[in-house]
Amino acid sequence: MMATTTAERGTIESRKEPRYSVTWRGRLIMPNGQVQEVRVRDISEKGVGLLADQPLPSNTVMQLVLGVPDLQDMTRIMAVPVRINSAYVVMQSHDFRVGGTWIDLSVGVRSLLQDWMRKLSYKL
């Protein structure tokens, strides 16, 4: 897991804050109740990058449950519920790449994600 910090200007990779690569699982719950398994590819202070097998609506608020490893015991996976707004959806190879922005992260979830980003930044 490495941090991604460079980006080409004018692309979906143009971001002010670094993104940290992860290989977590996730479960999206759409407004209509449909559930889709996703792969969490990166996290940042402002959002999350996902890979999905099926297209998702863009500019839509969705519930996401992140499968986050415990920092003390990596074999223990915690179900961390969050809300995101899907900022973009693009096809990449055989997957749909989804960029989401966090909505109203709780203090505890924000702290957990920040701890993970600190841990991942040391691996540069």
Q: Express each pLDDT in 51-85 by its tens digit.
A: 999 989 999 999 999 999 999 999 999 999 999 99
Inform me whether the pLDDT recorded for 15 exceeds 90.
Answer: no
Inform me whether the pLDDT recorded for 4 exceeds 50.
Answer: no
Q: Express each pLDDT in 16-40 by its tens digit.
A: 789 999 999 999 998 899 999 999 9
* Structural contact between residues 89 and 57, judged by C-beta atoms closer than 8 angstroms: yes
CA distance 19 to 4: 5
Tokens in use for 123? 């691996």
Domains and CATH numbers, the chain: 23-118 (2.40.10.220)
Q: Is 66 exposed, middle or buried (0-12, 13-18, 19+ CB in 10 A)?
A: buried
Tokens in use for 68? 């986050």
Cα separation of the two ends of the chain: 9
Tokens in use for 24? 């977590």
